[in-house]
């Protein structure tokens, strides 16, 4: 039962046009989110993780062109499941607005991008609550907001709720943004780097809170993060992205214990661990990220790949199923010559 | 190699007033930095870790002269003479500002959303008095290359970048002016581990080549331990432990440091560590507890901890701990 799919994204692509030059940022991305589970999305900085999620919830500006076979959201909120084709909905139409917040909620990466510097913290947290619960008294909303801030471990919450964003530390701002996303009790939380500004104790406290919601209420989480420790603790499934594509996806065990794509392998080798030798340079994937505008065909990782062959430079590399549920976009997995 | 002090902090304090009502009556203070004394040594990396809201960014801002200290002193070595920052004349302040740079925690807030990246990167060079446009463009180009961002991105606006790209822009901006002290506030936290490794290697290389001093603030303890010569652990505006990086990681002595290290999530499956779970709520820097600031959450709290605040004392070999259990 726990394997019901709540969000199903099939071949999502996003083209962003700047100065009349269109660039494909997200390319044929497919993934499925199971109810009550956590999907982690990892990948290189700038590979399109945030744009993918913004495209799913349609919080984008006019220079984005989004296409998809389908983006299917299945709401289990009231009684029988109800399906919505998010790709068919108008980004700022009535239905989409009614879904964003109470059903699907997003925690944005840069807190200051979603906080308004001139409003009090409390007013920003209750805004969604009042909007989606007509008839709710401001007093009640305020009390709920206060409770949420306390749950997130903000000290002196009664005082803080009346303050402004500039008076907060980085980690406090981040928790305010999490509070805004969680206050309407959404079915899916998309958390984009939610804990970069948090110390490890508060990070684990917030992750415990999310896990608790997940087991009690069968919430689903999409966690975008660079922190592999967090992925190991939280995720059920992982999707690895590189230059706009999902290059590898599967259950966490498969990705961590049997990574098949050379990018995933390189990424996992670069993970810092406590107690590293201080006199040696850190391991990084050699080479640098290509400019997305320069890429035309072939594997996006070819230029940095130790196993690159002529065939890797042509066409679109398809995705292969290496083992049940474990997909890899790499020709080596087609040959079966995997180490 | 780390040498003599370049900055000396003595009982430095930054308190923010807490106001109430329309007349903004001050009803108390947020003691963000509450009496910090330490030397920052030339060419060293001083790591700073601690709970969210414990005053790390504020400490960095005080060093940058972006925040006035409300007590104590910060003095900098300027041409062989220690000068208190609060007594600098305007031209001296300008010189000091060239000497120190900060990579800010929130890259989006640090960049003007209305201006192209080109302008953001060019401005500090103009302030530095580099008149020739060609020279500025050459510096810009090498700074962009250094952080691995294509040159044509110079003509984009901040919102057109990914989180990690913005962070790299901020790193380029801080380093292009050739400062001697750089405060890195969560400078690599938005980067994937591979690019993070590249940037950290670069920061280390620049340190060797240009004899830079870093104050390295971060929550990722593995990264701090790797980068730092010494690490200061802060709690509620105070330094509670200060030691050599390896000593601190191998032998953490303050109970807060111990709980911090035990909470680091490991990048391996099925090996969830036993955590020293902190009891109680995070105390507020507004109404600080009496005695040891950590006592309400400490598993080893004694009677004396509730009333007497422990001093930061050298417990041998330059390992400083502020804890009564050490007495
Ligand atoms: N509004 C925009 N206009 C033009 N280009 C954009 C815009 N937003 C993002 N991009 C570009 O799209 C690419 C992907 O950005 P995205 O923010 O999705 O990366 P990311 O995977 O989230 O990276 P990070 O881990 O650094 O946050 C980047 O190269 C970025 O420069
Ligand atoms: N301008 C300000 N006005 C009032 N209070 C402030 C101001 N700036 C910071 N504070 C408060 O000072 C304390 C320390 O903040 P600071 O930003 O230095 O924390 P930090 O250690 O950097 O935390 P984080 O790890 O979350 O970034 C916090 O309680 C914060 O709310
Ligand atoms: Mg992002
Ligand atoms: Mg900070």
Question: What spacing in Å lies between the alpha carbon of A148 and ligand 1's midpoint?
Answer: 31
Report whether pLDDT(A263) > 50: yes
Per-residue confidence (pLDDT) for residue B219, from 0 to 100? 92
User: Which residues touch B141 (CB under 8 Å, ≥6 apart)?
Assistant: B151
Report whether pLDDT(A2) > 50: no
Please give the C-alpha separations between residue A25 and each of A28, A65, A229, A327, B252, in angstroms, as whole numbers.
10, 10, 27, 21, 45
User: Which residues touch B325 (CB under 8 Å, ≥6 apart)?
Assistant: B255, B300, B302
Pick from B53, B196, B286: CB nearest A169: B53
Q: B242-249 long-range contacts, Cβ below 8 Å, gap at least 24?
A: B242/B38, B242/B312, B242/B319, B242/B320, B243/B318, B243/B319, B243/B320, B243/B321, B244/B317, B244/B318, B244/B319, B245/A278, B245/B47, B246/A278, B247/B317, B247/B319, B248/B319, B249/A274, B249/A275, B249/B221, B249/B225
Q: Which run of H or E residues covers position B181? A: strand B181-185
Q: Report yes or no: A206 and B87 within 8 Å, Cβ to Cβ.
A: no
- The pLDDT-based confidence of A87 (bands split at 50, 70, 90) is very high
**A74: β partners:** A83
CB atoms < 10 A from the CB of A59, how many? 16
CA distance A211 to B275: 17
Q: Report yes or no: A23 and A292 within 8 Å, Cβ to Cβ.
A: yes
Of A212 and B45, the structure prediction assigns the larger pLDDT to B45
Range list of H helices, A193-305: 200-217, 228-234, 252-257, 262-269
Regions in chain B scoring below 50 on pLDDT: none
Q: What is the CA radius of gyration of chain A?
A: 21
Per-residue confidence (pLDDT) for residue A1, from 0 to 100? 42
Contacts of A193 in chain B (CB under 8 A): 163, 190
Residues 14-33 of A with CB under 8 A from B: 18-19
Is B147 a pocket residue for ligand 2 (Cβ < 6 Å)? no
| ipTM of the modeled complex | 0.90
Residues 53-112 of A with CB under 8 A from B: 109-112
Question: Do the chains contact at B107 and A229, CB–CB below 8 Å?
Answer: no
Q: Which run of H or E residues covers position A22? A: strand A21-34
Ligand number with the minimum distance to the CA of A65: 1
Q: What is the CA radius of gyration of chain B?
A: 21
Average pLDDT, chain A: 91
B284 to chain A: nearest residue by CA? A155
**What mean pLDDT is predicted for residues A131-142?**
92
CA distance A47 to A36: 27
Total-model pTM: 0.92
Ligand 2 atom nearest the C-alpha of B219 is 25
Question: What spacing in Å lies between the alpha carbon of B188 and ligand 3's midpoint?
Answer: 13
A66: tokens are: 């989004």
Range list of H helices, chain B: 56-63, 90-99, 107-110, 117-127, 133-146, 163-175, 193-210, 221-227, 245-250, 255-262
Question: Do the chains contact at A200 and B264, CB–CB below 8 Å?
Answer: yes
Pairing, β A188-192 against β A104-107: parallel
Is A47 a pocket residue for ligand 1 (Cβ < 6 Å)? yes
Please give the C-alpha separations between residue A180 and each of A112, A133, A146, A212, B108, in angstroms, as whole numbers.
13, 15, 11, 18, 19
Q: Supply the DSSP string of B45-114, one letter for each residue.
A: EEEEEESTTSSHHHHHHHHTTSS--SEEEEEEEETTEEEEGGG--HHHHHHHHHHEEEE-S-HHHHS-TT
Percent of chain A with pLDDT over 90: 69
Q: Report yes or no: B65 and B12 within 8 Å, Cβ to Cβ.
A: no
Q: What is the pLDDT of residues B248-257, one digit of tens each?
A: 999 999 999 9
Q: Report yes or no: B252 and B80 within 8 Å, Cβ to Cβ.
A: no
Please name which of A23, A52, A24 lies closest in space to residue A240, comparing C-alpha atoms: A52
Question: Do the chains contact at A169 and B222, CB–CB below 8 Å?
Answer: no
CA distance A303 to A288: 9
A167: tokens are: 């008076």
Q: Collapse the DSSP code of B37 into the 3-class scheme (helix H, G, I; strand E, B; otherwise coil) and give the result.
A: strand
Q: What is the pLDDT of residues B304-320, one digit of tens each?
A: 999 999 999 999 889 99
Dihedrals phi, psi of A75, to nearest 5 degrees = -90, 125
Ligand 2 atom nearest the C-alpha of A168 is 31
B21 to chain A: nearest residue by CA? A162
Is B16 a pocket residue for ligand 2 (Cβ < 6 Å)? yes
Range list of H helices, chain A: 49-57, 94-99, 111-114, 121-132, 138-151, 157-160, 170-182, 200-217, 228-234, 252-257, 262-269, 331-335
Strand order in the sheet with B5-20: B25-41, B5-20, B71-78, B81-84
> In Å, how far from its chain's centre is CA A204?
18
Is B225 a pocket residue for ligand 2 (Cβ < 6 Å)? no
Average pLDDT, chain B: 90
Q: Collapse the DSSP code of A178 into the 3-class scheme (helix H, G, I; strand E, B; otherwise coil) and give the result.
A: helix
Our CA dihedral for B194, B197, B198, B199, rounded to 10 degrees, sits at 120
Per-residue confidence (pLDDT) for residue B22, from 0 to 100? 73
CA distance B222 to A10: 37
**B4: β partners:** none
CA distance B101 to B181: 6
B5-326 adopts what CATH topology? Rossmann fold (3.40.50)
CB atoms < 10 A from the CB of A276, how many? 16
CA distance A49 to A243: 9
Per-residue confidence (pLDDT) for residue B2, from 0 to 100? 60
Per-residue confidence (pLDDT) for residue A196, from 0 to 100? 85
Q: Report yes or no: B272 and B264 within 8 Å, Cβ to Cβ.
A: no
Please name which of B19, B223, B104 lies closest in space to residue A111, comparing C-alpha atoms: B104
Per-residue confidence (pLDDT) for residue B218, from 0 to 100? 95
Please name which of A169, A77, A62, A203 lies closest in space to residue A132, comparing C-alpha atoms: A77
Q: What is the pLDDT of residues A233-260, one digit of tens each?
A: 899 999 999 999 999 999 999 999 999 9
User: Which residues touch A95 (CB under 8 Å, ≥6 apart)?
Assistant: A84, A89
Question: What spacing in Å lies between the alpha carbon of B195 and ligand 3's midpoint?
Answer: 14
Is B161 a pocket residue for ligand 1 (Cβ < 6 Å)? yes
DSSP tag of A100: B
Domain boundaries, chain B: 5-326
Q: Exposed e or buried b for every residue in A164-191, given b needs 16+ CB within 10 A? A: ebeebbbbbbbbbbbbbbbbbbbbbbbb
């Amino acid at each position: 039962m726990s394997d019901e799919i709540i969000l199903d994204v099939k071949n999502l692509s996003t083209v962003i046009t700047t100065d009349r030059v269109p660039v494909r940022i997200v390319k044929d991305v497919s993934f499925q989110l199971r109810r009550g589970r956590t999907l982690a999305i990892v990948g290189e900085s700038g590979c399109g993780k945030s744009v993918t999620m913004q495209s799913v919830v349609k919080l984008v500006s006019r220079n984005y062109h989004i296409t998809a076979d389908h983006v299917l959201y299945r709401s289990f909120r009231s009684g029988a499941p109800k399906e919505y084709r998010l790709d068919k909905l108008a980004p700022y139409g009535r239905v989409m607005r009614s879904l964003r917040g109470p059903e699907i909620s997003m925690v944005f990466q840069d807190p200051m991008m979603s906080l308004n510097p001139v409003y009090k913290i409390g007013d920003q947290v209750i805004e969604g609550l009042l909007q989606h619960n007509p008839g709710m008294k401001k007093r009640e909303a305020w009390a709920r907001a206060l409770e949420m801030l306390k749950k997130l471990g903000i000290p002196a919450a009664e005082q803080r709720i009346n303050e402004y964003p500039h008076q907060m530390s980085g980690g406090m701002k981040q928790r305010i943004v999490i509070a805004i996303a969680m206050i309407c009790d959404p079915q899916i939380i998309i958390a984009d780097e939610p804990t970069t500004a948090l110390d490890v104790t508060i990070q684990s406290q917030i992750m415990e809170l999310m896990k608790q919601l997940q087991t009690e209420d069968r919430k689903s989480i999409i966690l975008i993060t660079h922190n592999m420790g967090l992925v190991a603790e939280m995720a059920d499934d992982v999707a690895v992205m590189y230059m706009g594509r999902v290059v590898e996806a599967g259950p966490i065990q498969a990705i961590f214990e049997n990574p098949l794509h050379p990018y995933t392998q390189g990424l996992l080798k670069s993970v810092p661990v406590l107690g590293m030798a201080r006199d040696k340079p850190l391991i990084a994937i050699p080479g640098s990220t290509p400019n997305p505008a320069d890429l035309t065909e072939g594997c996006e990782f070819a230029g940095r790949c130790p196993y690159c062959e002529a065939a890797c430079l042509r066409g679109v590399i398809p995705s292969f199923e290496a083992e049940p549920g474990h997909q890899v976009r790499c020709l080596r997995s087609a040959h079966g010559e995997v180490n | 190699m780390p040498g003599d002090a370049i900055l000396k902090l003595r009982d430095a304090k930054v308190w923010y007033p807490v106001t109430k009502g329309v007349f903004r009556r001050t009803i108390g203070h947020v003691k963000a930095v509450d009496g910090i004394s330490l030397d920052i040594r030339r060419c060293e990396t001083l790591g700073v870790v601690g709970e969210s809201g414990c005053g790390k960014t504020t400490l960095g801002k005080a060093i940058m002269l972006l925040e006035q200290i409300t007590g104590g002193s910060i003095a900098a070595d300027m041409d062989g003479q220690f000068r208190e920052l609060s007594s600098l004349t305007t031209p001296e302040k300008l010189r000091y500002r060239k000497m120190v740079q900060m990579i800010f925690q929130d890259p989006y807030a640090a960049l003007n959303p209305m201006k192209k990246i080109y302008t953001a990167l060019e401005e500090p060079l103009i302030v530095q008095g580099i008149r020739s446009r060609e020279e500025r463009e050459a510096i810009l180009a090498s700074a962009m290359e250094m952080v691995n961002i294509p040159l044509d991105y110079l003509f984009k606006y901040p919102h057109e970048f990914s989180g990690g790209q913005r962070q790299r822009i901020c790193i380029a901006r801080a380093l292009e002016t050739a400062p001697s002290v750089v405060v890195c506030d969560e400078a690599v936290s938005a980067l994937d581990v591979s690019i993070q490794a590249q940037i950290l290697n670069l920061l280390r290389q620049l340190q060797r080549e240009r004899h830079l001093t870093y104050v390295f603030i971060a929550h990722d303890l593995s990264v701090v331990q790797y980068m730092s010569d010494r690490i200061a652990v802060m709690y509620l505006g105070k330094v509670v432990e200060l030691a050599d990086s390896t000593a601190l990681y191998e032998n953490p002595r303050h109970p807060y440091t111990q709980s911090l290290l035990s909470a680091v999530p490991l990048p391996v499956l099925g090996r969830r560590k036993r955590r020293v779970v902190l009891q109680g709520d995070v105390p507020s820097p507004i109404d600080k507890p009496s005695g040891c600031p950590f006592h309400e959450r400490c598993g080893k709290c004694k009677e004396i901890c509730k009333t007497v605040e422990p001093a930061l004392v050298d417990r041998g070999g330059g390992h400083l701990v502020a804890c009564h259990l050490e007495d």
